[in-house]
Structure formats: C-alpha cells, structure tokens
Amino acid sequence: MDQHKRELAETGYTVLEDYMGEALLSDMRARVDELFVEEGAAAGSEFKTEENARRLANLVDKGEVFREAIALPEMLSLVESVLGEDFKLSSLNVRSANPHSSSVQPLHVDMGRLPDAIGYSVCNCVWMLDDFTLENGALRVIPGSHNWGKKPQDELSDPYASHPKELLVTGRAGTVVVMNAHAWHGGTANRTDKERRALHSFFCRRDLPQQQYQKRLLRAETQSALTEKLRKILAMDDPLNDELSSAGSGQSGFMK
C-alpha cells in the first residue's frame, strides 16, 4: 500500500489490479444491470444524463454491494492520503459508455477545483466493471498535473484533443483506479460493439458540499441500517455537512 500511496502522490493516480475480487465484481455487475432495466429512461436522473452514455446515480441507496464497496479499507486509506482524515463520499454513480460512441470527455479537473491553501480537496475512484482497453473508452490521465495548479480549459486550445503527456489507463475488470481528481483526466471514445461500464466513487474534503446530499437522498430504511463507519463516510451526523448542503448542492464544474 505504501507503493500505491507514493504513486498517487507523484503521478496523481494509482492502479489496484483485480482489487474487487470475483464475488464483489459479479455482484456489482448484476446489480448494475438490474438497475438499468428497472430505471429505464429515468436512469441517472437524480444526478445527470449524458448523450452516448448511460448513467446510474444515488447508488448508496440501491444495494448492499455498493455500500460494501465504499467502505473497503485499502481504498479509503488511499483516499485519506490525498484528502487527509476529514473526508466524505460526495457521490456514487455508474457511467456506461455506449458501443460505437465517438463521445470523448474533455480533459478536466473534477468540480473545476484546484488545490487551495488547505491542500487537495477531491479524489475519485474508478471501478472497472468491464475491461478497460485502448479501444473501449479507457481513462486518460496527465501524470503530475494534480500539482500544476491550473485547469485544462484555461491552458489548452482544445481540451478534447490528445495531450502529448497523456497516458491511457487500461486494466482488467475488477481493477480500481484511485485518482487525485485535481489531475487532468477524461474518458475516451468507445469504438467497440460492447458497452464499457464503470463505477465512480467520488470523495471530497469535509469542508465542501456533497455532489449528492446523502442525508436527503437515502431512504429511512437505508439510513437506519447504516453502520457507524458508513455514517461517517457519508457525513450523516455532521452538522457542517448539513449547513453546506443547505447553502448549495455543490454541483458545479465538470461532474462524474
């Protein structure tokens, strides 16, 4: 884990190969497929919809498998190495890039945020539910850009274009990428005949509002069943989180 923390600090991301294990991967795939069928055209509407991709949102409320994933200790340890101990889940979504889609995400930093006087404030974990290949919409990252203190839209004439320093992050289904979300990154086009599914667990520092205010979104029965650890991760008992969320949703800038 120390090596992964060093990679995360130096390059802005680290890859946990086969981190999910067969059982968690299988259960998550099954639940994601069920939700796409159940929700139909409304899928992802709690957060955002997107042309050339299908989305799911508010997943903490939609399955034990998702609550299990966001509490895995090794992943949380890496998030803490970026954000410090005062962090919370901001949102939990699925993005499935459609087959034969030319859609490319521009290089961006999540929430349009730059590091501030306190330090880093956003960290994203990408859970590969399918293999990520060069052809099906791999994640692209500019190593070291989390420390540049600049936004790509302010520096590049075309944030959609390939960048000379970009790396394409590929991996087998079950792999998780933990990324300092101040790093310049984006999704690439899926040129295959199959969808490419990924779960995004997005974390932010305690002093920022959540993208999805969990206390409002989670059903009473879900809230009552949360463990103490999950209540902390979701900031369910944090008065500051309530104040931030009542002041604004936090949904600004490019969103996962």
For 126-165, what is each residue's pLDDT tens digit?
999 999 999 999 999 999 999 999 999 999 999 999 999 9
Residue 74 has pLDDT above 50, yes or no: yes
Residue 49 has pLDDT above 80, yes or no: no
The pLDDT assigned to 250 comes to 45
Question: Cα–Cα distance between 157 and 215 in angstroms, integer?
Answer: 40
End-to-end CA distance of the chain: 26
Is 119 buried (19+), middle (13-18) or exposed (0-12) by CB count in 10 A? Answer: exposed
Residue range 165-181: mean pLDDT, rounded: 97
Give the tokens for residue 39.
Answer: 């929700």
**pLDDT value at residue 51:** 80
Read off the pTM. Answer: 0.93
Is there a contact between 48 and 200 (Cβ–Cβ < 8 Å)?
Answer: no
Q: Give me the pLDDT at residue 48, please.
A: 77
Quick check: 144 and 184 in contact, CB under 8 A? no
| Cβ proximity of 230 and 67 under 8 Å | yes
For 8-17, 99-108, 112-121, 183-192, which range has the lowest pLDDT when averaged over its residues?
99-108
Say yes or no to pLDDT of 185 above 90: yes
Percent of the chain with pLDDT over 70: 96
Domains of the chain in start order, with CATH, are 2-247 (2.60.120.620)
Rounded to whole angstroms, how far apart are CA atoms 174 and 103? 24
Average pLDDT of the residues in 101-117: 92
Quote the percentage of the chain above a pLDDT of 90.
85
Instruction: Provide the pLDDT for residue 252.
Output: 43
